[in-house]
């Protein structure tokens, strides 16, 4: 029974009283044990991956960072819009001041040319 086991799994024909055959069996056993050890390490590495709680924690952190980025982006957009509105108001005030100055100069010019009567004080 044992001889059949060794012949089938290790491909070694065991004969008694030969040193070389015993050495070959030991080498084969070392190879098999090495393969088994590597396979068990691979299984242990896969089995010892991140737990479900770790995966949920990582997903929550990603969602929180995305939410924070959205809030920061909306805040930046609001600030940019406010700055653009202030700039537009300033430009409108400057244009209004220039138009009032031009109207005053035109009025003075018309008074000098006696096209209209001076305003009463």
pLDDT of residue 27: 65
Q: Residue 108 pLDDT > 90, yes or no? A: no
Is 48:40 a contact under the CB 8 Å cutoff?
A: no
pLDDT, tens digit (0-9, with 9 covering 90-100), for 73-93:
888 888 889 889 999 999 999
Is 22:12 a contact under the CB 8 Å cutoff?
A: no
pLDDT, greater one: 34 or 24: 34
Is 28:6 a contact under the CB 8 Å cutoff?
A: no
pLDDT of residue 93: 92
pTM of the predicted structure, to 2 decimals: 0.38
Q: How far is CA 28 from CA 9, 20, 76, in A?
A: 10, 12, 69
Q: Residue 8 pLDDT > 70, yes or no? A: no
pLDDT of residue 121: 66
- Torsion 68-74-76-82 (CA) sign: negative
Q: What is the CA radius of gyration of the chain?
A: 46
pLDDT, tens digit (0-9, with 9 covering 90-100), for 36-58:
888 888 887 777 777 788 889 98
Is 14:7 a contact under the CB 8 Å cutoff?
A: yes
Q: Residue 66 pLDDT > 50, yes or no? A: yes
pLDDT of residue 40: 86
């Amino acid at each position: 029974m044992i001889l059949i086991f060794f012949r089938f799994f290790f491909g070694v024909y065991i004969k008694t009283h030969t040193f070389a055959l015993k050495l070959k069996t030991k080498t084969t056993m070392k190879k098999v044990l090495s393969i088994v050890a590597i396979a068990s390490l691979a299984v242990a590495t896969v089995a010892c991956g991140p737990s479900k709680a770790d995966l949920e924690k990582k997903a929550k952190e990603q969602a929180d960072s995305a939410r924070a980025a959205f809030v920061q982006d909306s805040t930046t957009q609001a600030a940019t819009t406010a700055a653009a509105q202030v700039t537009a108001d300033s430009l409108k005030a400057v244009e209004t001041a220039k138009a009032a100055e031009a109207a005053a100069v035109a009025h003075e010019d018309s008074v000098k040319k006696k096209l209209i009567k001076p305003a009463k004080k």
